[in-house]
Amino acid sequence: QARKRAFGSAQKPQRLSVGGKVLFSYDVEWLPSEVTWASRYDVYLHAASGNLPDAVHWFSITNSLAVALALSAVIAFILIRALRRDISKIREEQFLESGLIGTDEDQRLWRLLAKDVFRPPKANKLMLCVVVGTGSQMLLSIFATIVFAFIGFLSPQSRGSVLVGIVLLYALSGMLSGFVSARLYKTFRGTQWRRCSFAVATFFPGLMILLFAALETIVVMHQRPAPALPFVATAMLIATWLFVYVPLCFAGSYLGYQKPPFEFPQSTNRIARAIPEQPFLLKPHVAYAILGILPFAACFIELFFIMSSVWLGQTYYVFGFLLLVTTLMLLMCAEGAIVLTYFSLCAEDYRWWWRSFLGPATVGLYVLAYSVFYFQRLQVHNWATYVLYFGYMLMGCTAVSIMAGTSGFLACLWFVRFIYGAIKAD
């Protein structure tokens, strides 16, 4: 507590003159408090936000949890009932050495794809390895940043500390992206391993730096004074990419190529199986649109507070809620991708590699569409606001799509290996 007083006192007042200065000082009296150092700003944050945001955050958690439980029930039904029944009947048929499918043919057509389901994708398998490796690295860095912010290592009062933490953790985890992409590319029997390593080291960081440089250049050329990032900060960002991230990425790629490829329970035929016409709901543009709605519904309430913190200068401090919402959103991406893959296999379509990634990745498109709606809350005075807003939102939505797609891909990889590992094809 501080108490202000003027020099002098009632008995001996301070002498003043025309145009002179009045000197002030203050006394500080330190009092013990039960508030911890990490929670010292909570009283100001709660006073600024009131009681409504906490209720809204809890509503967001409840909403996300309800959707996640519904999807989990569907997954449990598939794994516990449908698959267990299918696998038991398939094993009975193997003992009888029968070529008949049986009365439940429509429910067990996925078994017929045992020799094709692990066939590497024909198109853009290198790019699939790159985005999956990049997404694995982003998942690690984002979750680590949220956890550090939750336990108090990153203060919400320090503007930009969370962003700096994300950049540093992303650079330090570069070995993971190189390792995952290299091992997956080796599993796909790829031969251009140097090109794969170079692509994973330059694709996402290079794309983000180019977009960032383009936005800053456009604003600097057409606006004075320009809100540009200082040259030193830009140089440090590029140096972190070239001298920290790239070497770690290449080291991870080297370790990934030294490891054996992923083992699959079934071999692959030389001649690919014909794929029949797919139902309307399983067509890519329809299935992707449906699959992206559920994860977005789980996070759009919390997304409002995050965007208010970024674009309106408000303080975001409920990192515990953010950790729960992010976990539930990625869980729903994984569960939705598993459901889509299962029904696609039942429709005799074994092209699940890209589908498991692109389906959950559409949540980024919904976030971008929501950013168009949120833009109406901003007070736009010049065209530079449009450029910066939609440019940065495009960068953020790209990162969200890659993370969501990676969670769906990894979940489907486990799911397909699990169901086909439970049977033995003839």
Distances in Å between the Cα of 399 and the Cα atoms of 202, 266, 277 are 15, 34, 33
At residue 101 the predicted structure's pLDDT band, cuts being 50, 70 and 90, is: very low
pLDDT (mean) for 82-95: 58
Question: Which of 58 and 352 is assigned the larger pLDDT?
Answer: 352
CB 172 within 8 A of CB 140: no
Residue 229: predicted pLDDT:
67
pLDDT (mean) for 349-360: 93
pLDDT (mean) for 306-326: 83
Question: Which of 278 and 313 is assigned the larger pLDDT?
Answer: 278
Instruction: Determine what percent of the chain is predicted with pLDDT higher than 70.
Output: 82
For the segment 226-262, what is each residue's pLDDT rounded down to a tens digit?
555 677 777 888 899 999 999 999 999 999 999 998 8
Q: What is the enclosing helix (H) or strand (E) of 205?
A: helix 193-222
Question: Which of 232 and 94 is assigned the larger pLDDT?
Answer: 232
At residue 90 the predicted structure's pLDDT band, cuts being 50, 70 and 90, is: low
Residue 347 pLDDT greater than 80, yes or no? yes
Find where tokens 């960081």 sit.
205
Question: Which of 19 and 390 is assigned the larger pLDDT?
Answer: 390
pLDDT (mean) for 156-163: 73
Structure tokens at 168: 């540093």
Contacts of 273 (CB under 8 A, 6+ apart): 112, 113, 115, 116, 348, 350
Question: Which of 11 and 163 is assigned the larger pLDDT?
Answer: 163
Residue 395: predicted pLDDT:
92
Residue 81: predicted pLDDT:
63
At residue 53 the predicted structure's pLDDT band, cuts being 50, 70 and 90, is: low
Residue 45: predicted pLDDT:
62
pLDDT (mean) for 72-101: 60
- Backbone φ and ψ of 24, nearest 5°: -120, 155
Residue 284: predicted pLDDT:
87
pLDDT (mean) for 391-401: 93
- Backbone φ and ψ of 66, nearest 5°: -65, -45
pLDDT (mean) for 353-369: 94
For the segment 275-309, what is each residue's pLDDT rounded down to a tens digit?
888 888 888 889 999 899 888 988 888 888 888 88
Residue 3: predicted pLDDT:
45
Count of positions (residues) in the chain: 426
Report the 10 Å Cβ neighbour count for 81. Answer: 10
Contacts of 301 (CB under 8 A, 6+ apart): 56, 57, 59, 60, 63
Tell me the pLDDT of the chain averaged across its residues.
81
Residue 44: predicted pLDDT:
62
pLDDT (mean) for 392-405: 94
Least confident among 77-81, 100-104, 260-264, 301-305: 100-104
For the segment 108-159, what is each residue's pLDDT rounded down to a tens digit?
677 788 888 999 998 889 999 999 999 999 999 999 999 988 887 877 667 6
Structure tokens at 242: 């070239």
For the segment 178-228, what is each residue's pLDDT rounded down to a tens digit?
999 999 999 998 888 889 999 999 999 989 988 888 888 877 776 655 555
Q: Residue 333: which of 355, 352, 353, 361 has the closest Cα?
A: 361
Residue 35 pLDDT greater than 70, yes or no? yes
What is the rounded distance in angstroms from the CA atom of residue 394 to the CA atom of residue 357?
A: 19
Residue 42: predicted pLDDT:
66
Report the 10 Å Cβ neighbour count for 267. Answer: 9
Q: Cα dihedral sign for 357, 363, 369, 374?
A: negative
pTM for this one? 0.82
What is the rounded distance in angstroms from the CA atom of residue 110 to the CA atom of residue 344?
A: 8
Find where tokens 């029949």 sit.
276
* Burial class for 403, CB neighbours closer than 10 Å (0-12, 13-18, 19+): buried
Residue 356: predicted pLDDT:
94
Residue 228: predicted pLDDT:
59
